[in-house]
Structure formats: structure tokens, C-alpha cells
Chain A
């Protein structure tokens, strides 16, 4: 059995996956089912999973949870008493008294004022609304069951219920979408003056209906130039509106960065519950099975429902530091240096010199510019190669 080495019991995050949806969206590759047969079994299993983890971590002493994120699926399908039940079972085993941020993802059609009030009374303090688009044709294409009006109403109701920390998810780069159409949606959303926006380029994920449509040439992807232009204008507009671009797809008003998500990019620990959920403790990453039935069965048998558990060595850690760090607030050179014998400062300096348009060194951090965010994946490959295999990526040397 793996010895779970929790590094910071005083600073843990919890991700909880609610695997139910009323309808699947064509682009979504998160795990969920549209049948509610295992609804009750799921909550029993979830309680069991929470308890098993608490037993595993018993030697670590008090475990203080700072952030929680309930995603899905559609967590807003949960009636308040189900939220309360899960919360209680967590509170029995973990210290939730210092919970700073508790996000629940909501779909516009499942948001009602009463439910939101109840959520707030339970301690939820951040709502993330899956708006995605405000163009009827686009919403229909994406397989969303809400309308633009419903989305706008959902935002109003969330604010009316007393939530301040509210996020809207948006998607750009849909087939046939023009830069102008995207800007219209964006302008409309900006009028809501939400403290946080998550804005994603449409991704064609293997296994989704969207991917199949594209493979069969029934859907045409927009040209790279157009997508790049949409992204560039998004960054421009949001900067002008006072948002801080703190991760590739995330924008926040000062003080409203999502603390739970920051955890992922800063490699802080989190437990994960629910089918397909991924957790990170110490030097291990684990993933739960991507099947609700199997999840329930394994827990009923008293086992944690792992699909994979992976141990990270220095190279894996270095890789993670690079691509997670560069996506967000930059990568700390000192942390890289702890995992390689290569002179990180020299490589980073040469790299920034070489790709001046895309990255800068900011104190101890190597970070990307807006232009750099747009090509972050390519840059990461370059930097990783420069750090681990200098012969394959010769950079002009800069005298140090």
C-alpha cells in the first residue's frame, strides 16, 4: 500500500466531482452520466470515500481545508440538503473552520433563488456559472439547454442571493464564429461586472461528439489566426476593464483570483472525491475510476476507487513546475534549480533573450507575456528541452 505523505496538512484543497448532468454538451469531456439510477448510491459511496481517506490520513493529525471546489457534471443539480449532508461528512473528518473559498459550479438552467440562498447559508461563497455563450445559435450548437436570457437571469439571481464572488465560464472559437460575434458576447458579459471570468478556446477533445463531427468533416475549425485574434482581443478588453490575466484562461478583478484553482498551478495539495476526480498529495498523483458504477462498487467493498496512482520524480516535478507555472504566474527559478543540475538562471536568461516577445524574467520568476500565453504549449516544450536536453535546442549563449 502506498504511504500517503501529505506535506502540508494545514493547507489542503478538496475537489469534489458530481457526475450527473441532465444533458451532455457536445464539447465536454468531463465525466458525467445522464441517468440518475445511481444517485443515492453515489452519495453513500462519497461518504465512504471521505471516511476512507480520513482513515488513511489519520496519522497526519488535523487536516485543515482551505479551499473547496465542487465541479462536475452539474453540481447545481444538488438540492441543499444533499450539499449539507456531504458538508457534514467532510466536517466530521476534516477541519473546515478555516475554509476560505468554496466554489460550486452552476448551470444557468438549474439556478433558482431559493436554492442559491440555501447554498449561501451553508457556507458556499463562490459560484461559477457556465454561461459559455450568449448567441442562441452557438448555445444550440454546444448542446447547452439554457438560453441567453436564462444565463443573464442566472447571473442576476446569483448576485441577488448575496453572492459577490461570481464567475462566468465562456467559450470562444466556435465553428463559423466571427471575431465580431465573439466581441459582442464578451461586451455583454463585461456589463455584468463580475469579479471573475474564465474564458476558454473551444477544444476538440478526443471522445466527444464534437471531435467526431470534426473528424467526419461535418464541422470546420476556425483558422488559427482567427482564434489567435479572438484571444488577443479578449486579453485587451479584459485588461482595459481592470481584470488581471492570472492564468491562460482566467481573469480576475483584484482580490478575486480563484484560490482553489491557483492550487493546481502552484502545485499545492488537494484531495479529490467522486468518479474521475484527480488528487495530489505529497509526491503522488492519483485518479479515481471514470465510471460511476465501478466507483460505487469499489467503495461498497471498502476500497478507494483508484484508477491510477503515480509517483513523481524530480524530472516529473520539473516538468509540472514548468507547464503549470508558465500557464499562470510564472515559474520560480529556485524551484527548478532544486530539481536539475543545469544552470537554470543561465538557461532562463538565454531563453528570454531568444523569445523576448513571449517571456520575461520578473525577479525570481520566468513568466509569459500575453503573446506568450497564446503559444504557451510550444514555449514549454522549448524551455523543457533547453533545460533537460540542451543539445537538442541550442540557444544562443548570453554571457553571464
Chain B
């Protein structure tokens, strides 16, 4: 078996693939696996072996990293050990990408011949360059009919970005297999071998982990110094916890146990870790006995950026929801949840996510895999509130905002947004970002037609539909990436919604004062459309504190009665009644008013008119 072969550190190569969604990363990875016979075509059950979650396959994105070891016989006759560390492809997962890159010495920059470089790619590329990685530029999809026309332009973009020579750029078609062998050769030739000292204490970087129901947590690591084998006592520096190693090995299609992991190796460690939270991405593993290694730089606690309330539509499903969240969090250290109560929605959980996509994925998995009918509140960011008493309060649920009188100031998270766009859309993007309270920072022409724009924006302004709007105003041509840049003071207010005088906690939002009126007016209007007529008048109000700033009225139901009910109608009518009763059960009760579940996400659809279908 290939996995058992010992390869000296000079013949190890660790690399990632940096690519925008759909630029062919997974296809290229598949070809590399095939060429190195790491998997046989028979094993190639999916087209793209690395994306192993159906949801990921559906969305065409990778959210989890799956490292894989290949053995390649280079033309010097020697066997090389190539470790591919896949990276997730979405802005929500920037930190994970940075840790994966930190485990590598090189990266393939894959660019679609017909699309050019995108924001996502650039941001990851900058990270790779900062981490000192050797970048091998690859233009993919050269088989496409329009490729020949575009290639010179894309080449120029890459040259401008990397400052490399045009000759260094590989031209391939991963789909057809053209040029893929040269990619393997370039990996061997251009990416430096790992450096490290086998004599030093163990120093390994955690870049991912997953929960195996039989073995506990399986930690993916890159060894920098020393070595690790079964029986070793190891310590995780960030948590301070120590474990005994049960098994180490490399990853191919399955886990393949090895006697040890040495300097430069990428593989897994099983050490009786029970909780995924104990294996923090970016943490350093060292020996628990004797001299210990220094932590590897760049470790950060992952903090959720986006929060939302998840409630079971049927209150009896609460425990089921808890179990499902617990199961999901076994494999997702970044998912946070804690129970909360809403007067409108009953018992549920306030959940924290890396970003909106992460939230949507969890939401979909809960509904699909666990068959839970969820009511989700509008997502929000976490605010830092300084009270008049000088206390610091973190607010991740708008309903928990302290009363206005006791607030000294509210701070909100800001991000640096990087947008790459064809130059013709600069105006539209400027307007969009300014509307979202963004501050223009810089503009860089990547080529005469393509521009990189940098803005600083409140995270709250991009949480809902910013990406959709951006796509819309640029006809899908702009790409976008962001990173958090800390908290800033904002003139923020809590906007409450009252239904027949009862405040609906689940509909409270925190908005900038300048937008509160517009927001309140539109939200009331939207709710008026969603809430059906009732037997009495329903008044919907938006309020800041005790001040009403918008109001809508739903007139009472005036006529709802079946005209004819004779012998032939009795059964039909009863069936209808039973259905209506079921429908009523799915409504949420606010005071006397019945509110459909979709009302709690009404804010999200407020921009409907501006959105393209």
C-alpha cells in the first residue's frame, strides 16, 4: 500500500489550491488524485471526491477541509509525498483558510480562463503570499471556446498580481486532463520542502478536526518539528489539556494508520479527545512531557459573527432541536447555541454562526437531516454596549438590549470589504456601499477593466442581502470578501414592533438611527401583507422606545362563511375545518393575533422590489 512508504522530508510537498467557486478546484484535485493513483477511477464515485457533504455538492462550495496524501513518482525516479490541503471557498471561513495555508509551503492559484481573478481568490492569495507560500499560477478551462481570446488578459492579471513571469503560468484543462501532469511536476520543482527539526519537541498545527462516532475527535495536523506516535503524551496549548495518542496516520480516501508522523507530514491524530471544541483550529500540539514548543503564530478563537434565534415551529420539538444542534456541533466547532425564550416564539436557541452562509447551511441541515420545521428570527450581529455605569454588555439578541436610559454607547462590528468588479460598475457599488453606511477606503486597477475596491462597513449592513444586492447591481460580475476590523461606536437604536400593543420580541432589530424610520415603515408594511385578516382589527406599529414611528392597520375580517351547507356539503366542510384547524396550529400567537411563521423573517424580504428574481 502506498501509504506505508517512508519519504524523507526533502521529498515532501504541502500545498493548497486557491480558487474561486466554479473555477475548477475540485476537478483539478480529482485529476491529481487519479494521476497519482491515490484513488482509482472506480472509487471516484462522486465527480468531486473532496466535497463529501451533499449540501456542499449542491451549493458547489466546500466548507470542510479534507486533506489528502498522494505519492508521486517524479521523473528523477524518486517517490514524492504530496499533501493537498483543501480550503473552504466562502467569506465566512476566512480564518480556516488562513490556518490551512499556514500548514503549507505552496499553493496552486487556479483561475478560470474565461472569468479572470475574483475577490475571493485575491484575498486568499494575499493570505498565501503573506504566509510566504510559493504560488504556482494555473489557468484552467483552456478547453472552453472563449478561452483563447481571454487567456492573454487573464495572464496579464496574474502577472500584475504576482509579479511573476508569464512563462510560469501553467495552462491546463482539468476537465480533459490537459497539462495536469505539469502541475504535479511544478509542485515538486517549485514548492520548497518543509523545514523543521526532528530533534526538537513536537510542534504540530491543528488545521481541522471532525468527530467520529467510534473514535471521538480526529484532529488534522501538520507537523513542524519533532514527531508524534501512538503512546505519546501530548498537550494542546490553547486549552492546556493533555492526551495520550492512540493512533496517527495519513489521509487518503480513508484514514491510513502510520507508525508516526514526522517533520513536514500532514495527517491525523486520534487521542481520546471527546469534544470538537477542544481541538481549536490554529492551536498547537506539543509534547506533554519535558521541553515544550512555542505556540505557532496566528491562533485565534473563532467567534461567531452572526446570530439568530432558531425556534421549533411545533413547541414540542424543542428537545429534538436541542439534540440536533448538539449533533451538528459535534462536527462544527464554530456553531454556538444557547437556550433562549421568546414571548412570541416560545422556547428556542440563540445560535451563533461564522456568517450568513454558515447559518443557512445549519438551517437547511436541521430541516433536511433532522426534519425540524424551524422558525428563524432575523439574523443580527453582536453589539458591545457600554452602560452608564461603565459596564460592558455583549448583546447578541436585540430583545436583550438594555433600556436606552442606561446605555452610554453602543458599538458594532465593522469589516473591511474587498470588492473586485469590472470598472463599469464602480458607481453602482459606491452607491450600494454608501447606502450601507460604508466608508470608501481605496481603489486599485488590477487591469484597465478590473478594479479592486476597499470599503469599511458595519457588519450589520452586509448580514442580510448585501451579497445578493452586489451581484444584482453588477450583473453577477463582482466578487466580494471581507474581514473583521473591530468594533466602532454607532448611533444605533432598538426598533421594536408592536402588534396590537404587544411588543414582539422576536421582531426587534437594532438599526442605525438614520434608517430607523424607513426601516420601521417598510417592516410594518411587509407585516401587513403577511398577517392575514383576523376577527378583529390588527394594528402594527414600529417604535423606538416609547415613540411610535410607523403604523399599519389590518382591517378585521368582514365576511368568511360558506354560503351553502346542505346534506352533500357536510363531510367536505368538516374536512376543510380540520385543515383550517391544522393551519391555525402553525401560526404563532402574539396576544390574540395569529402571526404566520414567515413574518419573523419579513425583514429579510424587505428589499424584494429591488432584487432580481
Contacts and interface: CB of A to CB of B under 8 A. Distances in A.
Going nearest first, the 9 A-B pairs with the smallest beta carbon separation are: A228-B558, A228-B559, A200-B563, A376-B561, A278-B568, A201-B563, A278-B567, A381-B580, A377-B560
B1 interface: no
Interface stretch (B93-101, B451-459, B570-578): B570-578
Given A202-B563, A277-B567, A287-B568, 9 more contacts: A228-B558, A231-B559, A249-B563, A277-B568, A278-B570, A279-B567, A285-B570, A354-B592, A392-B584
Interface of B: 534-535, 555, 557-568, 570-571, 573-574, 577-578, 580-581, 584-585, 589, 592
A161 interface: no
B501 to A, nearest CB: 15
B567 A270 contact: yes
Given A319-B578, A375-B535, A378-B535, A264 B570 contact: yes
A280 B561 contact: no
Nearest to A395: B592
Contact of B589 (A15, A355, A394): A394
A276 B577 contact: no
Contact of B574 (A203, A224, A323, A327): A323
B508 to A, nearest CB: 23
A261 B568 CA distance: 11
Interface stretch (A294-302, A329-337, A382-390): A382-390
A379 B562 CA distance: 12
B584 A310 contact: no
B581 A381 contact: yes
Contacts of A384: 577, 581
A272 B571 CA distance: 14
A316 interface: yes
B593 to A, nearest CB: 12
A320 interface: yes
A279 B566 CA distance: 11
Nearest to A354: B592
B573 A248 contact: no
A101 interface: no
6 contacts: A248-B561, A278-B568, A324-B570, A373-B561, A375-B535, A378-B535
Contacts of A308: 571
B567 A264 contact: yes
A392 to B, nearest CB: 5
A264 B565 contact: yes
Interface-centre pick from A201, A261, A319, A377 (highest chain B CB count, 10 A) = A377
A263 B592 CA distance: 35
Contacts of A280: 567, 570
A265 B573 CA distance: 12
A286 to B, nearest CB: 9
Contact of A323 (B534, B555, B573, B584): B573
Given A319-B577, A323-B574, A323-B577, A375 B585 contact: no
Contact of B570 (A231, A320, A375): A320
Nearest to B576: A377
B314 to A, nearest CB: 11
A344 B558 CA distance: 27
A375 B559 contact: yes
Contacts of A249: 563-564
Contacts of A180: none
A225 B562 contact: no
